[in-house]
């Protein structure tokens, strides 16, 4: 059996940071196997390994802030979304 989810991410439907991410999983909100139709709008000059590590670290940070009560679930999701867009180099 796999490792349990980080408690602050919450299970699906509990309003945690994980709900926003889970909604876009395979075949999720985009209907393209989870890939955004705006894929080309992101900067691809950064190494993929670094982007993955930064994404995971930001997810944990948002989760930990929510678990500690310093951010509401909505604020944690928003902080994660805005931060990821900046890190991933999304164009406006």
pLDDT at position 36: 54
Does residue 66 carry a pLDDT above 80? yes
pLDDT digits (tens, 9 = 90+) for 15-62: 555 555 545 444 444 444 555 555 556 778 888 999 999 999 999 999
> Between residues 83 and 90, which one has the greater pLDDT?
83
pLDDT at position 29: 47
Cβ partners under 8 Å of residue 42, min gap 6: 88, 89, 90, 91
> Between residues 91 and 32, which one has the greater pLDDT?
91
For the chain, how far is it from start to end, CA to CA, in angstroms?
41
**Contact, 27 vs 33, CB < 8 A?**
yes
| Helix segments in 23-47, DSSP class H | none
How does DSSP classify residue 15? -
- Can you give the pTM of this predicted structure? 0.57
Give how far Cα 43 sits from Cα of 17, 50, 56, Å: 24, 13, 18
**Contact, 87 vs 45, CB < 8 A?**
no
pLDDT at position 65: 97
Confidence band of 90 (pLDDT split at 50, 70, 90): confident
């Amino acid at each position: 059996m796999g490792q349990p989810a980080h408690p602050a991410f919450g299970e699906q439907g509990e309003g945690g940071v994980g709900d926003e991410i889970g909604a876009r999983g395979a075949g999720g909100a985009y209907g393209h196997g989870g890939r955004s139709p705006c894929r080309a709008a992101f900067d691809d000059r950064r190494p993929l390994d670094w982007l993955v590590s930064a994404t995971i670290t930001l997810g944990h940070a948002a989760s930990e802030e929510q678990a500690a009560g310093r951010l509401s679930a909505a604020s944690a999701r928003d902080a994660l979304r805005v931060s990821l867009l900046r890190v991933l180099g999304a164009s406006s």
